[in-house]
Copies of this chain bind each other. A is one copy, B any other.
């Protein structure tokens, strides 16, 4: 397939690499030093998203936030200017479900298909092709994209119509964020009550408290190893999406709001670039030493 890939950051680079290694043609945008190796693997470097869209059947976007997707799609020399009838746009960024529905409508008006397909699993999942991919859109578009998704991920779900992939991703980030905060409170409690948090965590691993977060992030909290992983700054962005969408939907989500605020505090304290398991430092900071 002729694939265009826009957004060669920490996640985008290994995803694009897996696509080209799977035998797809790859057009990329404004190559920097870090992604020069993709050109050596056979990718074509072009100057604008418009040019990438012109040379591709499927255009994948992987950028940080909602305004970035809007700029890539509809800004000057953007993807929309290079689209022709029958092309497929796949936004794999994690952005607003509400804005996604608007973007999809504008792309569909150009005679093209749109999928939102945010991922979970971090840089390691991107490298190993084990990302979870949560997809919103038509089944026809999903099936067309499936070979590409299978090159990048393992747990690939068509959740529903356009926007539902982003909704699932927000739900994912609510659960992961609140589970991290829960493990932090429990381990802080255990330590202050005089128990060994590492042994408490072990005792809890087999029961109803067990979770990927207790396993992975709980261990980081105990070892105090907070290299990302997934940065608090980015998780706070995802909880901002949750809080903003909840407001638009007139929903009260008390622990999401509280955990979002704790992440605000983490950023204010300079922990934004640490792994999200470092949220335990912020929760600890709420109590006197």
Contacts and interface: CB of A to CB of B under 8 A. Distances in A.
A36 B211 CA distance: 39
Given A176-B209, A194-B164, A256 B157 contact: no
Interface in A245-289: 245-246, 249-256, 258-259, 262, 283, 286-288
A252 B188 CA distance: 10
A255 B255 contact: yes
Contacts of A160: 194-196, 199
A189 B163 contact: no
Please tell me how many copies of the chain the complex holds. Answer: 2
A227 interface: no
Given A159-B195, A178-B185, A255 B253 contact: no
A212 B202 contact: no
Contacts of A11: none
A183 interface: yes
A157 B209 contact: no
A171 B186 contact: yes
A112 interface: no
Given A167-B195, A178-B185, A207 B259 contact: no
Given A255-B258, A288-B250, A159 B196 contact: yes
B183 A181 contact: no
B176 A189 contact: no
A205 to B, nearest CB: 8
B187 A171 contact: yes
Contact of A171 (B97, B163, B189, B259): B189
A22 interface: no
Contacts of A195: 136, 159-160, 163-164, 167-168, 171
A54 interface: no
A265 to B, nearest CB: 11
Contact of A211 (B168, B210, B249, B253): B210
Interface of A: 97, 120-121, 132, 134, 136, 154-155, 157, 159-161, 163-164, 167-168, 170-172, 174-176, 178-179, 181-183, 185-190, 192-196, 199-200, 202-214, 216, 242, 245-246, 249-256, 258-259, 262, 283, 286-288
Given A159-B203, A251-B287, A255-B259, 17 more contacts: A121-B207, A155-B206, A164-B196, A167-B193, A167-B200, A175-B183, A175-B204, A178-B255, A179-B179, A179-B211, A188-B253, A189-B242, A193-B249, A208-B213, A210-B212, A211-B211, A252-B287
